[in-house]
Amino acid sequence: MTKILGFLRDNSVTLFCSLLAIFFLRLIYINGPSKPTRKTPKGYHHRHHIVAILGSGGHSTEMISLLRDIDPTHYVHRSYIASSGDNFAFERAFQLEEVIQAKLKPYGPIANTRNWDPITGIWDVRIVPRARKIHQSLYTIPFSSLWCIFESIRTLYVIAKCSKVAPGEFPDVIVANGPGTALIVILASYVIRFLGISPMWKMKVIYVESWARVKSLSLSGRLLLKLGLCDRFLVQWETLALNINKKSTRKVEWAGILLE
C-alpha cells in the first residue's frame, strides 16, 4: 500500500494530465465534426421507448399538442419525467395518454400507469428533484443542480431497467420543449453516453423550442444549443431560425407551427 501511495504521489501530475487528455479526446470524439454515428443498427426492433419531459403550465400544454399524434404501437413504452412539487404532472400525463390511446381504443378504457396493455402498450411517470426551488439561495443552486443530475441519471437507469421494449436498455428518444428540468435530464443522458454506458444511438434528443419564442431562444434552448446536446433542435418560427442560423455555428431547423 505504501508503494502504491508513493507511486501515485510521484506521478500525480502525469496521471492527472493523462486523465484530462482522455476526457478531452472522448469529448472531441463525441462532439467533433467526425462524431460517431447515432443511427439505429439494422435489424433493430421497430418498437421504441420514448421519454417526454413535462414542465409546468404552458410547457406541458405544448407537449400534449406535440405528442398527440404519436403511434402507440410504434412507441410502445412511453415514460414521462416531471420535477418534484409539480402536483399536476400525473394529471397532464394522463390527459396526453387519453389522446394517444383514443386512436386505438376510442371507447376506452385508458390503460393505467405501469400496466401493460396489449393494444396501447405501457406508460409511466417518473419524478426528479427540482434543480432550483423558488426563493432558493444562489449559493446552494450548484449543489442542488448536481443532486438533480445524479437523480436524473438514476431515474434513467430505472427507466431502462423497467423498459418493456428492451429490458435493461436505455430509451430510444427523449423529447423536450423548454422546462428547466429538461436541461438537467438531457445533461444526465449525455453523461451516460459520454461514459460509454449507453450506445450513441440511444437516447436521441429532440428539442422543440416553445411556440412563444418568436425572436429569441429560451434560456434552456440557448444552453442546449451552445453545448450541442441535441440531435435535432426545432423552432416553430422562420424568423427565429434565420436569426440563429446567421449568428451561430450550430444550426436549428425551422419546423413550422407544430401545435394544434
Domain borders along the chain are 1-35, 39-254
Other Cβ atoms closer than 10 A to 98: 13
114-123 per-residue burial string, b: 16 or more CB within 10 A, e: under 16 = eeebeebbbb
C-alpha cell at 252: 436549428
224-258 per-residue burial string, b: 16 or more CB within 10 A, e: under 16 = bbeeebbeebbbbbeebbebbeeeeeeebeebeee
| Contacts for 115 with CB less than 8 Å, ≥ 6 apart | 122
Least confident of 104-108, 146-150, 218-222: 104-108
pTM of the model: 0.83
pLDDT at 145: 81
Q: What is the DSSP letter of 140?
A: G
Which residue in 60, 51, 66 sits closest to 88, CA to CA? 60
User: In this model, does residue 169 exceed pLDDT 70?
Assistant: yes
* Three-class SS state of 11: coil
When comparing pLDDT for 242 and 23, which is higher? Answer: 242
pLDDT at 23: 46
The alpha carbon of 146 is separated from its chain's Cα centroid by a whole number of angstroms, namely: 16
When comparing pLDDT for 191 and 137, which is higher? Answer: 191
How many angstroms separate the Cα of 142 from the Cα of each of 48, 83, 145?
34, 17, 5
Percent of the chain with pLDDT over 70: 79
User: Domain 39-254 carries which CATH code?
Assistant: 3.40.50.2000
Average pLDDT along the chain: 84
Mean pLDDT across 50-66? 90
Q: Please provide the distance, in angstroms rounded to a whole number, between the alpha carbons at the two ends of the chain.
A: 66
C-alpha span between 72 and 95 (Å, rounded): 15
